[in-house]
Structure 1
Amino acid sequence: MMKSVKSCITLCVIMLSLLVLGGCGSKATNSTPSTSTTPPVERTIVDMVNKTVKIPVEVNKIVVTCYGGATNEIVVLGAADKIIGQPAQENFPQLMEMAPQFKNIPDVGSFDNINVEEIIKLKPDLVVASVTSPTGNKKLEEAGIPVVSVLTGRATIDGLTKEFKMMGDVLHKEKEAAALSDFWERRLKLIKDDVAKIPAEKLKKVYYMLGTPLKTDGSAWGQEFITIAGGINVAQKVDNASLISVEQLLKWNPDVMIMSSNIGPTKNSFIKADDLRNNPQMSNLNAVVNNQMYQCPIGAFWWDRPSPESILGFMWLAKTLQPDTFANINLTQETKEFFQTFYHCTLTDQQIKSFMNAEAAQKP
């Protein structure tokens, strides 16, 4: 009897062992390799100098080291709160009113004149910098900070709309960037379609005065700004931001002068029509004799320089050069719509009037 019990116990132990071993073998046969579920911490984008830049998946802290509308791009895409350092923006009181936090963030320099040590202390996720500041940008890259280059004053319309998309990708604001590009596309088409109907003999010769009477922005942006709005750019063969001679200006003898106050980051400098009238070398120009001299408006940025807002500048210039053709453009309504849609700001008629008379608006 005892032998029978022991045999039974032994048999049970053997069977149990086989079941356990069989189970382990089954698990080994049917198991799949484990995969990591750790999300990526970096991604890549291609900036406006066609450079591949590694940036964090989520960008929360941005330093801007240029003007040229870079700050405005970030603001209209809904990411103003991500800017933790940038050049002072007192040139643009409307922008400061809409984003009062900009009064309290550090100015760490601009373009090639930057304070790399202070930028490092801010620990930004990336720096938005100009294509025109290779020296400063290189210092930041050497410090291990991702640098996303933007076109600033070197932009064309095509380049600027591509930049909107690129910044939308950086900020995960793709829908907002697409809406901005769509606004531009629809307004530009309306302007171009009407300009195409204007007889060549009615196109006015235009000189774009950039900060000082003998400085102009000829090719690239200046060329598009004038020709799309229905003018002939007398300086189309002159490089951007170049000085010309009085003799050259007299030879061109423009019908219209548009006068930009953009001379750099320190202050706005407004050219006055009376200064041209009282200048014996310029007083006989057609634009001066016929009082066709116009200061470019300033909203949250200079309307005549590349930025999200400069589509309003195209509409302003079209109405200025060809008032009969563009009588249908309600610039006040267009400005209100742009600011409401992209800046989420409701403007008054008086604020818009101040844009058109920026010199008076900026006096203390």
Structure 2
Amino acid sequence: MINPVKTAFQTPFGAAALLAASTVCHAETATNFTDMSQREVALEKPAGRIVVIPIPAASMLVGMDGGTQKLVGMHPFASVAAREGMLNQMFPDVLNVRSDTVGNNFVPNIETLLNVKPDFVWQWGHRGEDIIVPLTNAGLTVATLNYGKEVWTQRWIQLMGVTLKQEQKAAEMIAWREKTIADIQAVTGGIAAPQRPRVLYLSRFNDGIQTFGSTSHNNFDIDLAGGISLNKEVTGARTLNIEQVLLWDPDVILLGNFEAGLVPEDVYRHPLLSSVRAVKQQRVYKLPIGGFIWDAPNQETPLYWQWLTMILHPQKFSLPLREEIRQRYWQLYRYAVSDEQLDAILQMPVNRASQGYFELMRR
């Protein structure tokens, strides 16, 4: 049995180098740093009103800061995830944060943004200048985040720690991630391809079968947990037909949280998928949702890695995940999670028919 990881700050995979990657200057009223587009960002005073356009980063800011006081705008889906998951239970005021500050494809709503009077805006950097220039033209202070790699997610944490004056908490969060990666790799690193289950992640199913492709962090997650990602060669977000799913014949199907109401039973009941191995063996699993959905990179991702490794290799990797969640929720949010909330986070009711789930997730 794997022991819960420690919270002490360790740097086995280069967190020290990551933390030193930008030059940060703190004065009593100023913070200067380099964002993920290599732009120099200067805050003359600590930001008290922040808009977070990248979807997962809003919950990260709330958790790191210990409240919603500084978050004045976020993406509409970030609001949906807050309402459906644990964030609204831990921080009820998050439901009052405006979610009309950004529209489709992360294009900022400048009129709304100016109305909420932010000191500072986080925006995606990898999606191009078209969604950044309107912000800078409006006179707003902007910093960028990039998506798709674990090292980049760690950079989110480090930069948020800088801007919120929470560097120590950020360092502990990064150390936890690296320690969890090392623990899991010690178990799964030597698993040969024939022993790795072939895994298909689906972001949607009932309103069109959809997955993410080669640039998605999901490929890293599945590989780390000892699986083979079937969607790793797909380019971008992709709609799949039934024939492709039948051709792939996945051993395991993971259902994300981007489609409301999607549950494993929807896949099990589909008349054309009865011959798929994951359906025959009842290895279709709905991903958990906590402070944010676990199928996107966020502050709780190490818990997802542990959950996924238990799902893919229950005989090789096991730990008391419920107790681990309790400890980490206290570390991340200073929140004591209940048994009923643990059931909701782990999607116990909807995964009840999936192979081995109840036994694994009751530990």
TM-score normalised by L of structure 1: 0.79
Residues 22-37 of structure 1 mapped to structure 2, 5 A cutoff:
none
TM-superposed CA distance for 1:274, in Å, is: 3.3
Match of 1:316 in 2: 307
Match of 1:158 in 2: 151
Larger gyration radius, structure 1 or structure 2: 1
Match of 1:249 in 2: 245
Letter in 2 for 1:292: R
The 3-state SS of whatever aligns with 2:81 is: coil
TM-superposed CA distance for 1:181, in Å, is: 0.3
Q: Relative to structure 2, which stretch is displaced further, 139-148 or 58-67?
A: 58-67
| Pair 1:282-2:289 in alignment | no
* Equivalent position to 2:347, from 357, 360, 363: 357
| Pair 1:229-2:219 in alignment | no
The 3-state SS of whatever aligns with 1:347 is: coil
How many residue pairs are counted as aligned between the two chains? Answer: 314
Q: Distance in 2 between matches of 1:246 and 1:195?
A: 31
* Equivalent position to 2:72, from 75, 84, 105: 84
Match of 2:57 in 1: 70
* Equivalent position to 2:87, from 75, 79, 95: 95
Match of 2:361 in 1: none
Match of 1:178 in 2: 171
Q: Relative to structure 2, which stretch is displaced further, 299-308 or 57-66?
A: 57-66
Q: Distance in 1 between matches of 2:191 and 2:263?
A: 30
Q: Distance in 2 between matches of 1:64 and 1:359?
A: 32
Letter in 2 for 1:108: D
| Pair 1:167-2:163 in alignment | no
1:18-61 CA distance string (max 9 Å, x none):
xxxxxxxxxxxxxxxxxxxxx78654322223322232342222
1:207, 1:258 within 8 Å by CA — same for their partners in 2? yes
Change in 2 beyond 3 A, CA 1:148/1:359: farther
Change in 2 beyond 3 A, CA 1:56/1:313: same
The 3-state SS of whatever aligns with 1:45 is: strand
| Pair 1:106-2:94 in alignment | no
* Equivalent position to 1:337, from 314, 324, 327: 327
2:101, 2:113 within 8 Å by CA — same for their partners in 1? no
| Pair 1:143-2:121 in alignment | no
RCO higher in 1 or 2 (8 Å CA, sep ≥ 6)?
Answer: 2
TM-score normalised by L of structure 2: 0.80
How many percent identity over aligned positions?
25
Match of 1:23 in 2: none
1:210, 1:241 within 8 Å by CA — same for their partners in 2? no
TM-superposed CA distance for 1:261, in Å, is: 1.8
Q: Distance in 1 between matches of 2:331 and 2:136?
A: 35
1:223, 1:233 within 8 Å by CA — same for their partners in 2? yes
Letter in 2 for 1:254: P
Change in 2 beyond 3 A, CA 1:104/1:272: closer
Letter in 2 for 1:72: S
Q: Distance in 2 between matches of 1:114 and 1:162?
A: 23
The 3-state SS of whatever aligns with 1:110 is: coil
The 3-state SS of whatever aligns with 1:189 is: helix
Match of 2:12 in 1: none
Q: Distance in 2 between matches of 1:312 and 1:138?
A: 36
Match of 1:59 in 2: 47
TM-superposed CA distance for 1:179, in Å, is: 0.6
TM-superposed CA distance for 1:341, in Å, is: 0.4
Q: Distance in 1 between matches of 2:225 and 2:181?
A: 9
| Pair 1:326-2:320 in alignment | no
> Which structure has greater helix proportion?
1
* Equivalent position to 2:188, from 178, 182, 195: 195
The 3-state SS of whatever aligns with 2:132 is: helix
Match of 1:31 in 2: none
TM-superposed CA distance for 1:191, in Å, is: 0.7
TM-superposed CA distance for 1:317, in Å, is: 0.6
2:101, 2:112 within 8 Å by CA — same for their partners in 1? no
The 3-state SS of whatever aligns with 1:208 is: strand
Q: Distance in 2 between matches of 1:105 and 1:271?
A: 26
Q: Relative to structure 2, which stretch is displaced further, 299-308 or 41-50?
A: 41-50
| Pair 1:128-2:119 in alignment | no
Match of 1:306 in 2: 297
Q: Distance in 1 between matches of 2:148 and 2:181?
A: 16
Letter in 1 for 2:300: E
The 3-state SS of whatever aligns with 2:65 is: coil
| Pair 1:259-2:255 in alignment | yes
Alignment gaps of 5+ in structure 2: 1-26, 352-363
Letter in 1 for 2:278: A
